[in-house]
Amino acid sequence: MTAPLHDHPANRLLLHLSRVLWLTLCGCLWVAAPFAQAGTTPPCQAPCQTDLAGTWRFLPGNLVGAPQFDPAQRRPDAQWRDIRVPANWHLEGIDHSGVAWYRKEFEAPAAAPATRALLQFGGIDYFADVWLNGRYLGAHEGYFEAFAFDVTHALRPGQRNELVVRVDSPVEHPSAWSLRKRLIKGIFSHHDTRPGGAWSTRGQEQNTGGIWSEVTLRFGQPLVLDEPQVRSRVDTAAGTVAATVTLGTWSDTRRPTPPAELELTFTPHNFTGRSYRERRAWPVAAGHTHQSIDIALPAAELWWPAELGQPHLYRVQATLRSGGRVLDQRETVTGLREVRVDPRTQQWHVNGQRLFLRGTNYIPTQWLAEMDSGAYRRDIALMRAAHVNAVRVHAHVGDRRWYRACDEAGLLVWQDFPLQWGYTDSPEFQTEAQRQVAAMVRTLDSHPSIIAWSLHNEPPWDAWWMKYKYPDYDPHQNRVLDDDLERTVRHLDSSRYVHKASTSGEHQWQGWYSGHWTDFNKPTTHALVTEFGAQALPGIASLRRLFNEDNLFPDTDKKLEAWQYHNFQPDETFKNAKISKGKNIHAFIANSQTYQARLIQLAAESLRRQKYHPVGAIFQFMFVEDWPSMNWGVVDYWRVPKAGYDALARAYQPLLPSIEWDQEQPAAGSVATFTLWLVNDTLQSHTALAYAWRLACNGKTLAEDQFTAAVEADAATRLRRIESPALPPGSCTLRATVTSAQGTPLADNQHDFNVL
């Protein structure tokens, strides 16, 4: 028996050969009981597909040499349990890390002669080995990538079949945890929002392992197509639109495939318009091969972010025929657009139109099988209502359904590769990272919503703070890895921006990890801000789903320990942010949510007032909580908004009457000054807006005024400075509203403050 790949940085080739030898032996020993001819499954009229989702059998533990490999001593079926596929095993109530076995018996449809069969997995976390009817098919590493095996000669058409999958989702070995990790899982293995947090000894609990995405059998005759990959090529200056479509084919290596003709169609998917069709001879090579075709699309409709236009999508269908017979047919949905960015200024252009990115960071869940298309659309609706136009998929690759929902909604996506903090610099790891980053680009290439690839979040070579956490910290660690990944992705995709690393300088944590929240009043030197924010407790109803009444208020160290497991950071809350716990949990919730809301509003408004001088893109951290916890989300795990959500929505209005202030708590009797701004992210300039402001303290109006204001399209304009009368002690609000010349309300904003 070989040691797991993740436990030793030894020669990967030697490990692979010994592993294959063992797995082949296991496959020979796994002799399934004879299956009778069923004769009840209708023939498959290829191309067709069989879904293998549903109830499988599951047994945790490493069964190497166990008797169930021997049919004469087969382990009793009662020792296996039912499990749903697709699902992460944690969602099925199984608390397990490491090796587990899946088994599925199914009746395969009868197949016509020359039919090829492909077994497709949408995603398995993390290592997988696969057998069909005792024949070993192969192995796969990585949680997000779809993969497939040609099972034509292992499948028993019209009979019962047995599919077995060995899944290994280990914890990182203590020698690697947490600076020199070996699993490319990003936030699913090491992050502040993991169960147990980032730095706790419990930070690898509630494992994400399992067959979390679909499993299907696909049939073609005599070949099988992969889903088309489409990359648009738009030159708005020249007025040309084209696409490159890459097709993968699986055909028999034992006999030649007949000459084929490819028919490629682009048909409007979510609008009415012109279709495009291309036909040409298509040479089919033996085995699993890829070929590309270029197609011109004159006068095609472009995909736009929702803020700039309509997200036009095309359904791309590829059909291979021979002698008038359809060999296989696959389709995908894509959009056509051009994205340009100046890496220095971070000024973004989509189809030639400049756009300021008002973004957020997003981890929908710790267990990807938990989400479905409806859940993604619900989250996007919440984002759109908060005027978010861009989302950073934070240090992980998500479910394809998420990206399809973003395509449909016109929501821009900044896509991270799953590297979070430190990883081993072994040659074996670098090779695997190169393979997986190429898989990320290939998998997601067709999605027009994706505008950027970012390859590493806070790598050691940029994270100066690691020298205080790790005695053996190396400031050069992972630099070669990230340089190589950047070169690889630039070579694979020249149509998108490639960001080598999301660095500490982009992460502005004033008021949480350092400094004071009012430091956001100071100008920034960074054109790109990929993180800013603060924690906040969820509301009382959600908090009661986390803790019983005894632990609901953290007034002892033991209770605080339970809170910390759910990501609560006491030092940052009490020492840095100086949030008062108050006399009871209701006061603590109010204080916590108020702090998060005030910080987010100040940070977002200040950064937006610096629009293009120098700021071009901002991403609040983060949008939702990804498990039952209390962290940086402005919407909790059960999708209940906090006060920070309303603050984000207010500060992210495309047309924003922004209020600049410099005193957090002015003294009674003093005079406060404010500067009024108009920030305009729309394409429309305004010359005669009615701008009104009103200052009230303790419910009584102290001062108010109205004037005519103007602002250019896609600009930020400083309007005027105002001065208050002498302020009384108490609660005050300065409210600003903007209406059109015709009296239509366009935007409003307010700044709340206390007078001592």
- pLDDT recorded at residue 696: 98
- pLDDT recorded at residue 496: 97
How far is Cα 259 from Cα 688, in angstroms, rounded to an integer? 67
**505 vs 20, which has greater pLDDT?**
505
**Which pTM value belongs to this model?**
0.93
pLDDT tens for 165-212 read 999 999 999 999 999 999 999 999 999 999 999 999 999 999 999 999
Enter the CATH code of domain 655-755.
2.60.40.10
- pLDDT recorded at residue 64: 59
pLDDT at 17 over 80: no
Please, how many CA atoms are within 13 Å of residue 449, restricted to the half-sphere of its CB? 28
Per the CB < 8 A criterion, the answer to whether 165 and 211 are in contact is: yes
**61 vs 648, which has greater pLDDT?**
648
Q: What is the mean pLDDT of residues 564-569?
A: 98
pLDDT tens for 445-495 read 999 999 999 999 999 999 999 999 999 999 999 999 999 999 999 999 999
pLDDT tens for 103-114 read 999 999 998 888
Enter the CATH code of domain 224-334.
2.60.40.10
Q: Would you mind telling me the total number of residues written for the chain in this entry?
A: 756
Per the CB < 8 A criterion, the answer to whether 290 and 349 are in contact is: no
pLDDT at 654 over 80: yes
pLDDT tens for 514-547 read 999 999 999 999 999 999 999 999 999 999 999 9
- pLDDT recorded at residue 77: 82
- Other CB atoms closer than 10 Å to residue 596's CB: what's the count? 29
pLDDT at 30 over 70: no
DSSP labels, 625-653:
-SSSS-SS-SB-TT--B-HHHHHHHHHT-
- pLDDT recorded at residue 74: 57
| Radius of gyration in angstroms for the set of CA atoms belonging to the chain, rounded to a whole number | 29
- pLDDT recorded at residue 40: 56
CATH topology of domain 357-416+503-651: TIM Barrel (3.20.20)
SS3 at position 427: helix
pLDDT at 9 over 60: no
Task: For residue 202, give both structure tokens.
Answer: 């419990």
Q: What is the mean pLDDT of residues 355-363?
A: 98
Burial-class residue 49 by CB neighbours within 10 Å (0-12, 13-18, 19+): middle
Task: For residue 293, give both structure tokens.
Answer: 């075709």
Task: For residue 231, give both structure tokens.
Answer: 């990359």
Pick the CATH number of 12-214 from 3.40.367.20, 2.40.10.480, 1.10.3720.10, 2.60.120.260: 2.60.120.260
pLDDT at 88 over 50: yes
pLDDT tens for 118-139 read 999 999 999 999 999 999 999 9
Query: Quick one: what percent of the chain has pLDDT higher than 90?
Result: 88
pLDDT tens for 220-233 read 989 999 999 999 99
pLDDT band at 67 (very low <50, low <70, confident <90, very high): very low
Where do the CATH 2.60.120.260 domains begin and end in the chain? 12-214
How far is Cα 504 from Cα 531, in angstroms, rounded to an integer? 9
SS3 at position 451: strand
- pLDDT recorded at residue 79: 87
pLDDT tens for 616-638 read 999 999 999 999 999 999 999 99
Run of H or E residues at 147: strand 147-150
Query: Which residues, including other chains, have CB under 8 Å from residue 630's CB and lie 6 or more apart?
Result: 535, 536, 537, 538, 543, 546, 563, 566, 567, 568
97 alpha carbon, distance to own chain's centre: 23
pLDDT at 315 over 80: yes
Average pLDDT over all residues of the chain: 92
- pLDDT recorded at residue 6: 39
Where do the CATH 2.60.40.10 domains begin and end in the chain? 224-334, 655-755
- pLDDT recorded at residue 46: 79
How far is Cα 319 from Cα 225, in angstroms, rounded to an integer? 9
Run of H or E residues at 407: helix 400-409
Q: What share of the chain is helix, strand, coil (3-state, %, to 5)?
A: 20, 35, 45
- pLDDT recorded at residue 32: 36
Which range among 45-59, 148-162, 249-263, 351-365 shows the weakest confidence by mean pLDDT? 249-263
Burial-class residue 583 by CB neighbours within 10 Å (0-12, 13-18, 19+): exposed
